[in-house]
Structure 1
Amino acid sequence: MSPKKVLMLGILLLVPIFLFLFLKGFGTNHYSLPTYYPAINEATESPIIRNGDTVFQKIPDFRFVSQEGKTVTQTNLNGGVYVANFFFASCQDVCKKMSAQMVRVNEAFRNTPQVKLISYTVDPERDSVSVLKRYAEMYQADPAKWLFVTGPKKQLYTLAQNGYKVSAMQAPGTIPNFIHSEKLILVDKEKHVRGIYDGTDPQEVDRLITEITVLLHSYQQDEK
């Protein structure tokens, strides 16, 4: 065998070893999700740094009503991570696609109490508690796991735009219609946004499911 062939064979034999070492030392054990939206100092228009670390914005507190007619606040989502989206019940296209993908997330973590879901209506004038309850039942949503909430329109839109940084507004015209984001947003225990996904794309939702698992694993590692 020529020296060139011996060298090539040696490289091929070493590749699996290097791959194993890479995955063990630098792969999933060290993979972490980004944190979105640094807090901004309004005076300097620059990110806020505290003790050498960037300070990130948190999803602000809110107070809405669920499909069960119960008050919902951030405390209902404490102790774990959650996935949020914005929709309206009479939406015939995008919202149905998003809700179908939210079902996938719900099923993937049905037995994981640290994962919850919350869907905010952008059409509170028509999406009453009873309407949300029927909509939730269509997707077999357990109210202990997946919340559908309504409340004052201004508060819902402000939360979407300033909290989650996604669009939510009533479209111009006489026919009631709404402009809202198609994104699913992953929020961690500290109420920081850790992932943004196209809620109509199954591959993006596959990534969401994987990254929820990564985030939960990071908490487990921190507890050891």
Structure 2
Amino acid sequence: MAKKQSNYAYIGIAFSLLVFGIIFIPKIVDRVKVGDITRNESRSKKVLTNSDPVVADLMYLEINGVPKKVPPFSFVNQDGDVITNKDYEGKVYLVEFFFTTCGSICPRMNRNLVQIQNTFSDAEDFGVASFTINPEYDTQKVLKAYADNYRMTNPNWHLMTGDKEAIYALANIGFNIYAGENPNVEDGFEHSGNFALIDKNGFMRSRQDDFGNPKIFYKGIISEEEKEDEDGETQEISMLKADIAKLLKEDLVK
């Protein structure tokens, strides 16, 4: 009698396992497929995550569907050294076009850049590329004095001068930042007050606007302290700092 009861027990267990397999295993598989299970916290998952490149949630500026990369350039900096785009490889950096005799927006732009420089003073892979649009006046010696006056101390901050046409092509075509001569305006030159943000791999990056498109540039004139200008335009230096920090955490893809 005891033996027959034991057989019934085994049959009951087997039947329960069969029912469990039919009902619950497919559900578990489905949950794994959609990621609704704690394997995301497993050690194997952490290893895979750590092996994958870190990519910030910032958009790429695309031209005809292709991410826009910084074009080759070669100019002389404030120390008399030849600087090319390769000197910025592996670095997150900002780009501006300015001139030293500018009495309107350039001082405001560069005070903001110095403030950003000081925020990331410990980041060896952060830099700034400043291109003068008045290279005939802004010689290496003039740029050196300008850098000293504004306390531009970051070793990766290069104020560059060179062939005027090459600089204008780099601004208007290479970075899509307007720069040009205009004898009818004060100081004789016109240029954008925006900054371009470049990642470690040389691509132009930015966050998206309200329509899901890349903002492309960051306003460089209004300071954090001012908050907004007389036209109600809000400052974007805080936003820029946050995005620089994101890109500094990205991996360099070789």
Same-fold call, TM cutoff 0.5: yes
Partner of residue 57 from structure 2, selected from 17, 26, 32: 32
CA distance in 1, matches of 2:55, 2:166: 39
Aligned partner of residue 82 in structure 1, secondary structure: strand
CA 1:175 to 1:74, structure 2 compared with 1: closer, same or farther past 3 Å? same
Aligned partner of residue 189 in structure 1, secondary structure: coil
Q: 1:212 and 2:223 equivalent? A: no
Q: In percent, how many aligned pairs have the same letter?
A: 32
Aligned equivalent of 2:88: 77
Report deviation, 1:31: 6.2
Report deviation, 1:105: 1.1
CA distance in 2, matches of 1:114, 1:174: 38
Q: Which moved more, 1:88-97 or 1:198-207?
A: 198-207
CA distance in 2, matches of 1:62, 1:30: 26
Deviations 1:67-114 (A, max 9, x none): 001101011111121011010000012000000000011101111011
* Letter aligned with residue 213 of structure 1: A
Q: CA RMSD in A?
A: 2.2
Aligned partner of residue 83 in structure 1, secondary structure: strand
Partner of residue 168 from structure 1, selected from 153, 158, 179: 179
Report deviation, 1:134: 0.4
Aligned partner of residue 32 in structure 1, secondary structure: coil
Q: Could you state the TM-score of these two structures normalised by the residue count of structure 1?
A: 0.75
CA 1:102 to 1:174, structure 2 compared with 1: closer, same or farther past 3 Å? closer
Structure 1 runs of 4+ aligned residues shifted over 3 Å read: 172-176
* Letter aligned with residue 73 of structure 2: F
Query: Please, which runs of 5 or more residues in structure 1 have no aligned partner?
Result: 1-28, 41-46, 48-54
Aligned equivalent of 2:78: 67
State whether residues 64 and 73 of structure 1, in contact with CA within 8 Å, keep that contact through their aligned partners in structure 2. yes
Aligned partner of residue 156 in structure 1, secondary structure: helix
State whether residues 97 and 200 of structure 1, in contact with CA within 8 Å, keep that contact through their aligned partners in structure 2. yes
CA distance in 1, matches of 2:130, 2:158: 6
Q: Which moved more, 1:125-134 or 1:211-220?
A: 211-220
Q: Could you state the TM-score of these two structures normalised by the residue count of structure 2?
A: 0.66
Aligned equivalent of 2:221: 200
User: Which has the larger strand fraction?
Assistant: 1
CA distance in 2, matches of 1:168, 1:119: 13
Aligned equivalent of 1:98: 109
Query: Please, which runs of 5 or more residues in structure 2 have no aligned partner?
Result: 1-53, 207-216, 224-234
Aligned equivalent of 2:126: 115
State whether residues 170 and 176 of structure 1, in contact with CA within 8 Å, keep that contact through their aligned partners in structure 2. no
Q: 1:154 and 2:165 equivalent? A: yes
Aligned partner of residue 194 in structure 1, secondary structure: strand
CA distance in 2, matches of 1:143, 1:189: 17
Aligned partner of residue 122 in structure 2, secondary structure: coil
Deviations 1:115-147 (A, max 9, x none): 101110000011011110000001111262211
CA 1:87 to 1:130, structure 2 compared with 1: closer, same or farther past 3 Å? same
Report deviation, 1:30: 9.0
